[in-house]
Structure 1
């Protein structure tokens, strides 16, 4: 085991963008799959999504299904996760039904953790 941490950083996936448009309707999902596939091939320790996983704040059922399917395909496996959460779970999960991070849950086989930062779709810059 190495002391190095390998992180794949991606952002602005915008899953669901172009949904229903003939030429680009699957592009965002293809981009997400390429990202996750590359992460798996490069054997990264985790993926950091720097915002805007979904294009809409309330994605369609189709978009949710596509994203969950890709996460299951690439993130659920028997690969050992060489990280541990050192924050106090009582503080981190105090208002949650979950009491530990999912990659440490013995009932879920997370082999590729993803950490996502909430993005804001709609920032306007004025000069």
Structure 2
């Protein structure tokens, strides 16, 4: 191995981290209505252009707990445009996916789903604006997760007893652990 290291080597994770995007904020405003969608488009475009291994969203992807149909549609459109495709995933998940994604009916990472072609995986925790509420304890991220567009992790079944199980990832000889816990209200 040479002393020069590149960001494209087989042991280096390239991660784009974004948070507090607040999709749908002021969406009915004539001037600022598309701002959050344009910002999300730029984030995803940057991830694709820089050939990142994955995107990590730190919460508040949505501004409202129950985003409008327009907001959900635009979000799904952008994720499909930039994050689906045939580009191979160059890292693996080592942790127990049934634990990491146990709140989902599809308790595995989306890029391993034989029915999907994911080129850039998106991992996300929920924030206080997009937290799971109501009788079913669902949020917009759960819809995106069910559609196979994001990997929603860091959910806790109880605010009294919080258990955190990190996502353990490997790329070449590198190992990382992602700890995440969504906002609990």
Q: Please give the TM-score of this superposition, normalised by the length of structure 1.
A: 0.89
CA RMSD of aligned residues (A): 1.6
Give the structure with the larger helix fraction: 1
The runs of at least 4 consecutive aligned structure 1 residues that moved more than 2 Å come to 89-97
> Which structure shows the higher strand fraction?
2
Aligned counterparts of 1:108 and 1:35: Cα–Cα separation in 2 = 22
Taking the aligned partners of 1:92 and 1:84, their CA distance within structure 2 comes to: 14
User: Which residue of 2 is the match for residue 124 of structure 1?
Assistant: none
Tell me how far apart the structure 2 counterparts of residues 25 and 112 of structure 1 sit (CA, whole Å).
27
Pair 14,94 (structure 1): closer, same or farther in 2 beyond 3 Å? closer
Q: Quick one: which of 4, 10, 22 aligns to 2:30?
A: 22
Structure 1 gap segments, 5+ residues each: 122-127
Relative to 1, partners in 2 of residues 1:83 and 1:66: Cα closer, same or farther, differing over 3 Å? same
Instruction: Please state whether the residue corresponding to 2:17 is helix, strand or coil.
Output: strand
Structure 2: which 5+ runs fail to align?
Answer: 1-8, 130-185
Distance in 1 separating the partners of 2:116 and 2:93? 16
Q: What is the number of residues matched between the two proteins?
A: 122
- Cα displacement (A) at 1:99: 3.7
Displacement after TM superposition at 1:93 (Å): 4.2
Distance 2:113 2:47 in 1: 22
Q: Distance in 2 between matches of 1:20 and 1:30?
A: 15
